[in-house]
Chains A and B, each alone.
Chain A
Amino acid sequence: MDLRFSPEENAFRQEVRTFFQTEIPLSIRSKSIEGRHLTKEDMVTSQKTLHRKGWAVYNWPKEWGGTEWTPVQQYIFLEEMQANGVPPPLAFNTSMNGPVMIQFGTEAQKKKFLPRMASLDDWWCQGFSEPGSGSDLASLKTTAVKKGDHYIVNGQKTWTTLAQYADWIFCLVRTDPEAKKQLGISYIVFPMTSPGVTRRPIQLIDGGSEVNEVFFDDVKVPVENLIGEENRGWDCAKFLLGNERFGIARVGVSKMRVARIKELAKRVPGNTGGTMMEDPQFAEKLALAEVELKALEMTQMRFLAAERGNKSGKPNPATSMLKLKGSEIQQTVTELLMELAGPLAIPYANDDDEMIGHNEPPIGADWAAPAAPTYFNYRKVSIYGGSNEIQRNILAKAVLGF
């Protein structure tokens, strides 16, 4: 047993870190570190920079631009990316739709879609959830009826993240209304500019509108845009949802945020005369978050080490624990930043909101402005990607054998 990283792994870490710090603009990285809004352009710049280096789709097979990194290297890469505030490659492209296409797509589909997905020349969004189908995804009602060489798609998707930027959507649709739940579902893709596609942004409690409702009204989709077999789309969905493994705990993000809170707490005045770092109650809450984070980091490394011996390709269900605990810690950390800000977190300083005039002087303290919105926004992390209650169901069944 040797729980240290090897010299090669440390050298790799250094290489990755240097690249991030020299090649990804500081203006972009500090936005993520400070919890400020990233523009589409920021995310495209970041992914294109990574892509030129050959790292944007590090997790794909080599023939489609992947790296063949070991699980430990992938972990180091993600950790450094998160610690340095580098916007990650767009998950919809690189860790969701891309791997599905690689696994289930035809050669023609791969050639057509994958290169532009990797470079973020096409921005993809995910059409899974519907108003009536959240945790019970397989109850989805959006239909695709085959007419000649087209499907006609009707229905509604919701919680579609960043659909406002998207060129394409990958969608679960019902192609056989007679079949039992999971069996009549297909995975199809089409441009967001297709006639009949409309989008309505949903303002969230943080004031932003990162998610949308998307409506389909007789959208014509060529049959060659079906991925995998008709009525077997659930296989793609399961594959996609199980594919997310080690980034999900976002340990690096939480570490970066804790480090920042500690820096800020040394200069924010506390209630007991000194700084907030000298406020014992706050300092102990912060220390407890650090303990849990360290434990999670070690847990992640243990699962990662076990993953090397896992040749089945099936996800280790214990990784649901990473989602569960990782989301709790992310939420705790955003809560701590808001508590640190105290009264300074109160002003609503959202430049994008019509309630606030543009070109006015900024409201409140710069560092404190995103504290409450981030706290509000991060309530999502225990809901999306399979809610924490669903993760508990998975663990109960797959690990504890209930």
Chain B
Amino acid sequence: MSLAGSPALRRYSRHLLIPEVGLAGQERLAAARVLVVGSGGLGSPVLQYLAAAGVGRIGVMDDDTVDETNLQRQTIFTTGDVGRAKAASAAEHLRALNPYVAVDAIPVRFTAANARELVRLYDLVVDCTDRFSTRYLVNDACVLEGKPDIYASIFRFDGQVSVFGAPGGPCYRCLYPEAPPAGSVPTCAEGGVLGVLGGIVGALQANEALKLLLRIGEPLVGRLLLVDALGGRTREIAYERDPACALCGDAPTIRDVRASDEDDEAPLDGEIEPSELDAALANAQLLDVREPHEVVLGIVDGALHVPASELEARLHELDSARQYVVACRVGAKSRWAVQRLRDAGFLRVRHLRGGLLAYAASRPEFEFF
């Protein structure tokens, strides 16, 4: 794509001054197509920097709507966007930021059904999702389609960045073969995240994407960059392609994206929907397993509070003959707690799907967030 004589050229003058970029590099960016999966804490800076840098076509994929609790870190959105579809809203901001880039707003979830087809349309994919299941889908689709997957993830003060699926390089499954058991690792919705961490880590992620597109520097292939915002430190861990990897190893067993990787929220036995909670509590005790610091986000009258982290030590306080409905904020920690309780012989335990947050969504008088 020739930019010579283009009205966009002036905008990129600080790039053109760098020998490693220059006009040829800027033309590479203008010809590039990047799919960004997720437009949240990581996606915001990634999208903004890729659009500002002049990446010619950007896919913004997100099936969510903007919530007020997103604004603490998702800087692509403004207060007036609350309630709007994220993909459309982010696309609008990107077009305003740089009218010379084409933006595809894709307001659907990345699933096994659309993964490979979408990945094929772009040169590389930036994984800015917030759930393990989608991360595996992105990785698998990228490896199978031969496209690099620029990975980053964040939690509280910690971030990880790496590049998967580069020619000869390792993939996500070489590092973490399978998704962790549901509920064992808290998400940002559950555990929180320092807003600026998405900015720090997302900017590193955008940097990796730009380096690959420009074919300059040393991409984070086979290197996991760890960001510790609390300590103000970064560290690098080397890892290699695993010959036994189920996806990119010498005898792969995963030959296509799998719908089973789509949803790590498969229903538990004895699960109840938020709308069924009031009726269920007529003859069951609500067991609130949120951590003590989460209680500030809403108090549930009549609940028995045993934080998940203390559950093992406090099992003796519970009565295995009694019926419990186990709940936490978003329904992940409570899943783990239900499994633990059942292993310990509590057979009359039920689980509140979606957690107290889902329950609160249907009960405006219940102050909870």
Q: Are A and B part of the same complex?
A: no
Residues of A within 8 A of B (CB): none
Residues of B within 8 A of A (CB): none
